[in-house]
Amino acid sequence: MPALSVRHLLGIKYLNEKDIQLIFETADQFKEVINRSIKKVPSLRDITIANIFFENSTRTKLSFELAEKRLSADVLNFSASQSSVKKGETLIDTVNNILSMKVDMVVMRHPNPGAGIFLSKHVKASIINAGDGAHEHPTQALLDSYSIREKLGDVAGKKVIIVGDILHSRVALSNIFALKLQGAQVKVCGPKTLIPKYIESLGVEVEPDLRKGLLWCDVANMLRVQNERMEMSYFPTTREYTQQFGINKELLDSLGKEIVIMHPGPINRGVEITSDVADSSQSIILHQVENGVAIRMAVIYLLASQLNT
């Protein structure tokens, strides 16, 4: 059976192109399963998975839980805000206590970049990074590329622009790694203060003008302005941000061509994207969420198959 080159999913940076294709082919099979009337397979009946979330989440948490249940795994849900972390328990103690209950896999979201990498070196379980600070969000990038492949037939050769708060975005970094591995062309667009200086070293071009970027691209991935990660002001006002880097129907219609609109969610409606664009026929935002379940099933299934090897 084909296997991933890694035992944990800590970031797209650690995957190769074959890994991504294997995840997509496996997700294709699970997508067929979850569209059947009986949406469950017995593949992971002997596996226990803990979802430990130290940060808020809607899409990632629910779709990991659903993916695990569709695979018939036993599921533990841990929310830091209701746990003994509040009494000062460390990350390693917390996870080792969970693992002593015979847990095989940990899905973790944490505010600190590298938290999953740290954990993988200290505990005996397969770790999946569900977002670590401004570092990586690998399953989001996988479901984003999978959604582009579904909509446009392939990712190779496609032109993708990532718009907005690149500096604080784990979604942007993981998407850049994933898109470049698959042979897409990538540009970023946003306020100068929210574009990291090293970005061009990742093989990405900077396009300061949103309209020019939209005329160039096949796909625009609009990022959320992450106010919670900003310790200072990166642009004068939200209104000015929206005027320069927000997408609205008038702008979209003026391009004279169809482009695919993506957003990882949660959306700040009226800031980076207006409702009429988010809900338009060019938007695949809810398809991204739907594909998240099949992609997470594939990642969990492939990592689980390596647990006792």
CB closer to ligand CP out of 147 and 185:
147
Query: Of 13, 28, 41, 59, which lies in the binding site for ligand CP, with binding defined by CB under 6 A?
Result: 59
Task: Tell me: does residue 159 bind ligand CP (CB under 6 A).
Answer: no
Tell me how many helices (H) and strands (E) the chain has.
11, 9
What's the longest Cα–Cα distance across the chain? 59
Amino acid at 92: I
Q: What sign does the dihedral 9-14-18-24 (CA atoms) show?
A: positive
Taking the complex as a whole, the smallest distance from the CB of residue 53 to ligand CP amounts, in Å, to: 9
**Any binding-site annotation on 140?**
yes
Q: In what order do the strands lie in the sheet with 105-110?
A: 74-79, 48-53, 105-110, 126-132
Taking the complex as a whole, the smallest distance from the CB of residue 224 to ligand CP amounts, in Å, to: 8
CB 155 within 8 A of CB 162: no
Taking the complex as a whole, the smallest distance from the CB of residue 103 to ligand CP amounts, in Å, to: 21
Residue with tokens 């209950």: 101
* Cis peptide leading into residue 266 (ω within 30°): yes
Q: How far apart are CA 169 and CA 147, in angstroms?
A: 19
| Choices 239-247, 248-256, 263-271, 301-309 (CB under 6 A): range interacting with ligand CP | 263-271
Taking the complex as a whole, the smallest distance from the CB of residue 219 to ligand CP amounts, in Å, to: 17
| Choices 34-42, 90-98, 227-235, 264-272 (CB under 6 A): range interacting with ligand CP | 264-272
Instruction: Give the total of residues touching ligand CP (CB under 6 A).
Output: 11
Distances (CA, A) of 307 to 4, 8, 25, 147, 258: 12, 10, 20, 28, 44
**Any binding-site annotation on 59?**
yes
Which parts of 98-137 interact with ligand CP (CB under 6 A)?
131, 137
Task: Tell me: does residue 58 bind ligand CP (CB under 6 A).
Answer: yes
Taking the complex as a whole, the smallest distance from the CB of residue 101 to ligand CP amounts, in Å, to: 25
Q: Which of 262, 258, 259, 257 lies closest to 287, judged by CA?
A: 262
Task: Tell me: does residue 227 bind ligand CP (CB under 6 A).
Answer: no
| Choices 5-13, 28-36, 67-75, 259-267 (CB under 6 A): range interacting with ligand CP | 259-267
- Binding-site residues for L-aspartate sit at 87, 170, 224
Binding site for ligand CP (CB under 6 A): 57-61, 131, 137, 140, 264-266
